[in-house]
Structure 1
Amino acid sequence: MNKGFENLPPADYTVSEAERQAIAAAIDVDELTRTALELGNIDSPSMQEASAADYVYEWLDREGFRPRKVGATPERPNIIATYGGRGDGKSLLYTAHLDTESPTWDPDLDAQKFRPETLANPEWNRCWLQDGAFHGYPISNDRGPMVCFLMAAKALKSCGIDLSGRLYLTASPGEIGPEPIEEARGVQYMGKEIGTHYAFYHGGVSPDYAIAAEGCDFGLTWVACGYAVFRVQLFGEGVFTPLLDSPERASDHPNPIYRLGDAVQALLDWGRAYEADNVYVSPGGTARPKTQISSVRGGVPYAFGAGTEICSLYLEVGLPPHVEIGQVHRSLERHLRAQKLGEFEIEPMVVRHGFAADEARVAPLVAAVDAATRDTLGEPLQLAHPVYSSMWRDHNVFNMNRIPAVTTGFPRWRPTPDDMVKSTLIYALTALSVCGRASESGGRDALRKTDVYGENPFSKEAHAER
């Protein structure tokens, strides 16, 4: 098992045993299961999140959380609601994404990527309970964790526990994708810009901390990779097929498609060295950046007769927090030049850097999750598996904006209703610990420590220490 976290500060607000029991009693496993299945069975692939967003909006409205729709387009809104804010406690934002991994459901495109039996898998857009576990990708990624923090807020409200600080509940489109590349142009192909990015920049939120609620097997990390997609274009000459004298070696062929074998091997060799040389290790998680060719394009199948002058490979490259795009571009270009591939050009089509929270500033949030995990699971919080810190997750949005953020949640594969109950309780206890309980006078029931920047956060001394 991964190691736990050490030397965490005491929680700003200590949740009492009576509060924990009341919150736990307020979590209805049948309601939790029903809500997860209802939301999970709304078809919500990337670019088609509206129906799932409407469900979350209506649920929040019915439960008295006064939700808002905030979106770059009306078809793909973020849903934002707030609970608490009765005093001067810290604010916490929960986020999860509405879109789910899936094919494009364009039969012509999907036929170029998936086998028929893969497309027929019902777990792409259906969810059900079988043998005591949830099946279906929408619940595991990511509407199950979303339901958990919605139910956590309802449990706090049902118990009459108001919060001193604000608890933000956000559901966003576009975390999985897509990305505008080549002919896929325009706002309809945007992913992250109109999702959690948009909610943070335009959603009227001011979190002190954030949690991306996603499956982490009850572990936690404050690290995430970004990614780049490089287009590698090979150039050659179109020659009318009846006039072509085929060379002995593929590398001498005028059609650049014949150079793909050498190019693929060169990219594999570079990728293996890049992955080994750029592992990021920190107290908050280990990021192991990976590379893979995602697509190959060349010529036009129905306009044959003279080969093609251009073929392209699209290489996905993980970007850990300590790696920047310029150094990766130069390294890749230098390697390919040395392979004598002929005329080529490299261009990054997508760039998203990875980020990590500041260890000291994220510590109070980690301490709150640790305390909640101990109270719920009976064991200390563990560091999440490196796979969860080696991918993009939306806590990147907050860490890049200096808001300490983590990702944590229930088991990613085949979660059970009991897993969801535990995750709901952890999210509720964390929110109470971070935000504090509001007193009847609008303050807090317990004394809170001095703000992290001192009694006066705008003083010269505090500013210098930042």
Structure 2
Amino acid sequence: MADGITKPSMMGAFSDEDVKAITDAIDINELTDLILELSNIYSPSTGEAEASAFVHAWMEREGFNPLSVGAVPHRQNVIGTYGGHGAGRNLLFTAHLDTESEPSDPTVLAKTRRPSSAENREWKECWLEEGKFYGYAVANDRGPMSCMLMAAKALKKAGFDLAGRMYLTACPGECGPEPIEERGGIDYMGKEIGAHYMFHHGGVAPDYAIAAEGTDFGVTWLGAGSCTFRVQIYGESIFRPLLKAPEKTADHPSPLYKLGPVIEALHAWTRDYERDNTYDTKGGTCLPKATISSIQGGFPYSGGTQICSLYIGCDLGPKQKAADVLHSLESVMRELPGIEFDVTPVNVYHGYEAQDDEIEPLAASVGSAVQSVKGHPVEKAKSVYSSMWRDHNVFNMHRIPALTFGPTRWRPTPQDFFECTLMYALIALSVCGQMNEQVSSTTAKGVYGGMSNPFEN
């Protein structure tokens, strides 16, 4: 084991021998090198081709029989497999190839970012400094992706032949963008082109799924959706020499002058939105937010406009529907006197959750892994991790019990990723089972690392 790597405590449902064998099979230096090499490939949404090719080549070199499938040649999902030689359950790990980035379109960049923002080296560069990783791609999401890849390699190296299949999937498009209005079509697709496409066309049939992303080693099986609503305000465009400017902005014919009361009303609505839609369960807490994300009104060279549009981004908890939000927004707008308006959803993704009884075997395996490595029971993930879209939503949408679980999100260390790799391997061993053992239905129900279920009400 490399210097500075803490040996995990040998506790929980896994035997000391199994934990030691996998621990010894993980090379911390190789893991660190993989994280940095993969994360330093610039891979924004719609530009994942090089990172996809790298993962495919790595899987091929390590003997995981990769398959690449995608809706377009330059945005391929990569699917590898390990095991599957017996009657065990199939566990799918998924991580995304794209990372949030500054807009590539120079016009969009100039209109949405300060010049200094684009100079932040963490957009495109990742490095290790004073024992911590820097660079956005490490945390989101190629650090956890490297952990799932190295977990499979460690199982193989340690001689664990899995009965069920361990799927390793690397997908484009999780971060976005989404097709909206004039920037529509397949070139702007996000979620449908990634894990969703892979689920339907990637040759996978999982019993369970894990979105390998940073959760600070907490676990949740909730996921928020998102929607964007366009609120159009109508008015008149008056030839400027003929305009008689009114004393009050409310009396001005241009829809641009009506923004003040509309923004105040929508801001008050967004403050109530989180309170009214908070969803708390033993599998996670969703705190959906809403905010005005864009305002568009005319063009500076056109001389005026009859339409001004506000775009409101909303998270959607697992029990919310876009229709309910639409009716709520329309109700707010109707209360504004003298405002002619229209509200339209231009982008909709619902949130999802796994059923507690169906996810329990997988959650138990996660709990056992955390207990074995960390020496304490697993905790419910912070609400931020169950209040956003992650690709476990894709599987819960299709009735495959799925959760998200992974290492420290902000400024992770090599130790964090080492422990995560070990945990992923232990979870796969628990769920998929070994060829030389009788495989049960996964693990004992209701047991989390030898402890009582911490999420039981």
> So what's the TM-score if we normalise by structure 2?
0.93
8 Å Cα contact 2:89/2:441 also seen in 1: no
2:372 to 370, 375, 381: 375
- Note if contact 1:263-1:341 (Cα within 8 Å) is conserved in structure 2: no
> Is contact 2:291–2:314 with CA below 8 Å preserved after alignment?
yes
CA distance in 2, matches of 1:409, 1:76: 25
Letter in 1 for 2:324: Q
Secondary structure at the aligned position of 1:52 is classed as helix
The alpha carbon displacement at 1:105 in A equals 2.1
Gaps of 5+ in 1: 1-12, 440-444, 453-466
Q: Does residue 446 in structure 1 map to residue 445 in structure 2?
A: no
Alpha-carbon separation, structure 2, partners of 1:397 and 1:416: 29
Report how far residue 447 of structure 1 moved.
Answer: 4.9
Q: Distance in 1 between matches of 2:378 and 2:390?
A: 19
Q: Among 409, 419, 422, which residue is 2:419 paired with?
A: 422
SS at match of 1:72: strand
The amino acid of 2:269's aligned partner reads W
Contact 2:298 2:308 (C-alpha < 8 Å) held by counterparts: yes
1:328, distance to aligned residue in structure 2 (A): 1.1
- Shift of the alpha carbon at 1:446? 3.3
CA distance in 1, matches of 2:188, 2:139: 24
Moved over 3 A (4+): 449-452
Aligned to 1:342: 339
Root-mean-square deviation (CA), in Å? 1.5
Matched, 1:401 2:395: no
> Equivalent residue of 2:167, what SS?
strand
CA distance in 1 between counterparts of 2:131 and 2:260 reads 47
| Bigger shift: residues 245-254 or 155-164 | 245-254
Q: 3-state SS of the aligned residue for 2:411?
A: coil
Matches of 1:323 and 1:76, distance apart in 2: 31
CA contact (8 A) 2:13 2:372 kept: no
> CA 1:447–1:112 in 2, change beyond 3 Å: closer, same or farther?
closer
Offset at residue 303 of structure 1 (A): 2.5
Task: Note the C-alpha offset of 1:326.
Answer: 1.1
Instruction: Identify the residue that residue 189 of structure 1 maps to in structure 2.
Output: 188
Summarize the Cα distance change of 1:59–1:184 in structure 2 as closer, same or farther, 3 Å threshold. same
Match of 1:442 in 2: none
Partner residue, 1:464? none
Rounded Cα–Cα distance in structure 2 between residues aligned with 1:341 and 1:377: 61
What do the CA deviations read for 1:141-165 (whole angstroms, capped 9, x no partner)?
0011000000000000011111000
Matched, 1:360 2:357: yes
Seen in structure 2, the aligned counterparts of structure 1 residues 112 and 41 have a Cα distance that, compared at 3 Å, is same
What secondary structure sits across from 1:272 in the alignment?
A: helix
Counterpart of 2:53 in structure 1 is 54
- Alpha-carbon offset, residue 340 of structure 1: 2.1
The answer on 1:168 being equivalent to 2:160 is: no
Q: What is the number of residues matched between the two proteins?
A: 434
When residues 320 and 450 of structure 1 are mapped into structure 2, their CA distance, relative to the original with a 3 A threshold, is closer
Paired amino acid for 2:440: R
**Pair 1:135 & 2:121 matched:** no
- Structure 2 unaligned residues grouped into runs of 5+: 1-11, 445-457
Q: 1:29 to 1:254 in 2, by over 3 A?
A: same
- SS of 1:153 mapped into structure 2: helix
- Structure 1 counterpart of 2:219: 220
Paired with 1:335 and 1:64, the residues of 2 have a C-alpha distance of: 58
* Pair 1:256-2:260 in alignment: no
Report the residue type matching 2:435 in the other structure: A
TM-aligned CA distance change 1:383 to 1:451, over 3 Å = closer
- Distance apart, 1:107 and its partner CA: 1.8
Q: What's the TM-score once normalised by structure 1's chain length?
A: 0.91
Partner of 1:83: 82
2:30 aligned residue:
31
Q: Structure 1 residue 410 and structure 2 residue 410: aligned? A: no
Q: For structure 1, which segment, 422-431 or 335-344, has the greater mean C-alpha deviation from structure 2 after superposition? A: 335-344
Secondary structure of the residue aligned to 2:265 is helix
Tell me how far 1:85 sits from its aligned partner.
0.4
Q: Which stretch has the larger CA shift, 254-263 or 427-436? A: 254-263
Map Cα deviations across residues 116-168 of structure 1 (whole Å, 9 max, x no partner).
11111010111000110000000100011000000000000011111000000
Whether the aligned pair in 1 keeps the contact of 2:48 and 2:74 (CA below 8 Å) is: yes
Q: 3-state SS of the aligned residue for 1:112?
A: helix
Give the structure 1 partner of residue 385 of structure 2: 388
Corresponding letter in the other structure for 1:83: Y
Distance in 2 separating the partners of 1:451 and 1:49: 37
Q: Residue 324 and residue 116 in structure 1: after superposition, are their counterparts in 2 closer, same or farther (change >3 A)?
A: same
SS, match of residue 71 in structure 1: strand
- 8 Å CA contact 1:15–1:432 kept in 2: the answer is no
| Matching of residues 101-140 of structure 1 within 5 Å | 101-140=100-139
Aligned partners of 2:376, 2:334: CA distance in 1, in Å?
A: 53
Change (3 A) 1:23 1:291: same
Superposed, which structure 2 residues align to 1:157-306 within 5 Å? Answer: 157-304=156-303
Shift of 1:450: 9.2
Q: 1: distance between equivalents of 2:99 and 2:121?
A: 13
Q: Which amino acid aligns with 1:329?
A: L
Query: What amino acid does structure 2 have at the position aligned with 1:426?
Result: M
2:430 aligns with one of 428, 433, 437:
433
**Aligned amino acid, residue 362 of structure 1:** I
- Shift in Å at residue 438 of structure 1? 1.1
Query: Percent identity of the aligned residues?
Result: 55
Tell me the CA shift for residue 15 of structure 1.
3.4
Counterpart Cα distance in 2 of 1:414 and 1:285: 23
Residue aligning to 2:16? 17
**Contact 1:259 / 1:341 at 8 angstroms: preserved in 2?**
no
Q: Which amino acid aligns with 1:18?
A: E
